Structure 1
Amino acid sequence: MAIIALLVSFPLVWMVLSSFKTSVELSRAIPTFWPEDATLSGYIYIFNEMPFGRYFLNSTIVAVASTILAVFTSALAGYIFAKFEFRWKNIIFIAILTSMMMPGTVMLIPRYILVSWLGWTDTYWALIIPQGITVFGIFMMRQYMHGIPLDYIDAARVDGMGEFGIFTQIILPLCKPPIAALAILSFIESWNSLLWPLVVTSSPDMRTLPMGIAGLATVHSPLLQYMLPAATISVIPIIIVFALFQRQFVNAMTSAGLK
């Protein structure tokens, strides 16, 4: 396991160390591992010569908002499909799962037409709302909630608690592992999203981190001395989020798979 961990982490370590190298050292035929002449010029450039701070802020707003929305909508839909009985329940759920089999690019044009019709192009709404509903999240929350005994819900109803109160005060506290797992997956997907922001935004003020990093790949050659510092900064939030919720993530994946 230690050997596998070293092999997996090597590209990340190389990227971080190379972000402190000069352009001359990066262009050598024989690459170096440790920077011979460490410099912060790449970091200084992306913050002084580029609106990198704005890109980071946009990605943070979009990722956090879409993650919160995805967790809420997935938990609510999962609760309805797991604990309520209504007409055509299974047909509707199968129809929702069917959308998982369709590539995301197939829905790109219809989604853009809808966003354009609503007047959301080049706004935060276009970046947040479409990523705030995830079919996989609905499926995972439903699978986990199937294991919650109905006795808790029935007892709360006898005590006079409303359905939304049952959902927020009883169901959600019992679903911390899948909520943490879904939050990690949704945050990573939104943080790394490139194609959708590229389609629905046009002004530089609405660009996200992946768009800013992709813009450093010029026609002739990528600007590695700037791309590597930008990529290093972009992975820090993902590492922090995963480090905080990794135990809940593993528990949710195993329990949802068994059920």
Structure 2
Amino acid sequence: MEGIPHPIPRTVEEVFNDFRGRRGGLIKALTTEVDKFYQKCDPEKENLCLYGLPNENWEVNLPVEEVPPELPEPALGINFARDGMQEKDWLSLVAVHSDSWLLSVAFYFGARFGFGKSERKRLFQMINDLPTVFEVVTGKAKEAGHLHNNSSKNKTSVKMPSRQPESQPRAVKMSPPKDEEESVDTDEDDEEQGATLCGACGDNYATDEFWICCDMCERWFHGKCVKITPAKAEHIKHYKCPTCSTKRARA
């Protein structure tokens, strides 16, 4: 193993940079340099481990002999499973164990240098903003990255946003108005509460769902009911629901 010839990280930023470097090396081993990695994991050899290095390199090596080790150890014997599984499944398994190892190393440094609650929280938030090794290896990071990019440009594009001022286009990226007082069993209150029902399925407003309002009939719809995603809504200036679009076409 490397034996830690690199400077030992002591601050949140240094630990995160160490994490990011090791993560980069592991991703390289499991993606762009996978042929080289595969050859090094000969099942005829002893128990082998995959190490990510802070300089974005990697190595397959025997576990360290010292007990306890200087750093948490990666999964042992990854080479033994190489020929007993489909290659993609084996790589996914190694990726999952690599993610666990990366977290254990990062929080080992945090514990060693006395990170408090706020420092540990900040470190985890920085780590959590990156796709996991497993997500990158399996291709799931592309979808996650797309949602993250939309969120960074406009936080209303992924989750239900709050109501916008009337001066802005009201067709998209808005949530249905919610009554401030509890509804009473009267005709007027029933009509007001109806504004929070989906015009397609009739279900109630839920804060964790994306909604869109029709510019023509001013009814609200679940994005999923009218097949409008937050990403599509970003490019719509004036939205017309399916019913209004049909009426206009007939006219």
Tell whether the structures are fold-level matches, with TM greater than 0.5.
no
Which structure's residues are more often helix, by fraction?
Answer: 1
**Greater RCO (Cα-Cα under 8 Å, separation 6 or more):** 1
Which structure's residues are more often strand, by fraction?
Answer: 2
Instruction: Compute the TM-score of the two structures, normalised by the length of structure 2.
Output: 0.31
